[in-house]
Amino acid sequence: MENIPVQQKILSRNDEIAASLRQVFDRQGVYVINLISSPGSGKTSLLERILPVLGPRFRCGVIEGDVQTENDARRIARLGFPVHQIITCGACHLDAQMISDHLDRLPVSDLDFLCIENVGNLVCPSSYWLGEDAKIVILSAAEGDDKPVKYPAVFRRAAAMVVNKTDLAQWSDFSQETAIANARGINPGIEVFPLSCRTGEGLLLFTDWLSGRISAKKA
């Protein structure tokens, strides 16, 4: 079986396409994030919280990646932001070619901030660069504080970790300190934002950090 060489060839070709995407994003001055987490950790909920805060200052757009359904794109469209859904029909991650094929469905040249919400999967998406400026990983408190150690690749490559559902921590064995120590053991420079999309607690620090990044690229 030629699994590994084929995989390397695919990843290398992906990186070439992602580099071209990045040139487009840089030329337009649009800051791009690639949002990665397990299913149900709150990627779309986070966007529903941050887009209304960022919207008055920045022109925002979203690409949604899902194995099936357009549910997430509908949730974003309700907020009035441009959004395009990519349905992967079984594929476990977005790749740069998919982004390239669909990019003309969004007014990228008019955007300051583009969020790509990846397929819910803590393993495969971490290997595929989509031309983004930063990967942001979400860990739900309900998933447990050991996940950075068990799924290290995405935590190693992420600029920031959002610890979501902090309101559930009190009902589980989750230790925020352990989760942060585990993530920083793999990636000492990772920024950490504990928050709850349900209660709104902690969201301001995250939107401030993101605003700084978007402004810096726009300038």
Point out which residues bind a copy of itself (CB under 8 A): 1-3, 6, 10, 13, 38-41, 66-69, 71, 90, 92, 97, 119-124, 127, 140, 142-144, 146-147, 149-153, 165, 167-168, 171-172, 198
- The two beta strands, 134-140 and 191-194, are unpaired
Provide, rounded to whole angstroms, the least separation between the CB of residue 83 and a copy of itself.
16
Provide, rounded to whole angstroms, the least separation between the CB of residue 103 and a copy of itself.
18
Q: Name the residue nearer to a copy of itself (CB basis): 41 or 207.
A: 41
Phi first, then psi: give them for residue 61, nearest 5 degrees.
Answer: -140, 160
Provide, rounded to whole angstroms, the least separation between the CB of residue 167 and a copy of itself.
7
Contact criterion met (CB below 8 Å) for 141 and 174: yes
Q: Name the residue nearer to a copy of itself (CB basis): 66 or 132.
A: 66
Helix or strand or coil: residue 217? helix
Contact criterion met (CB below 8 Å) for 115 and 214: no
Phi first, then psi: give them for residue 55, nearest 5 degrees.
Answer: -50, -45
Q: Name the residue nearer to a copy of itself (CB basis): 3 or 104.
A: 3
Name the residue among 8, 107, 129, 101 with its Cα closest to residue 61.
107
Query: What does DSSP assign to residue 57?
Result: T
Name the residue among 95, 110, 118 with its Cα closest to residue 46.
118
Q: Name the residue nearer to a copy of itself (CB basis): 68 or 177.
A: 68
- The strand pairing partners of 163, in sequence order, are 139, 194
Contact criterion met (CB below 8 Å) for 186 and 149: yes
Whole-angstrom Cα distance, residue 132 to residue 81?
Answer: 19
Name the residue among 171, 173, 135, 108 with its Cα closest to residue 36.
135
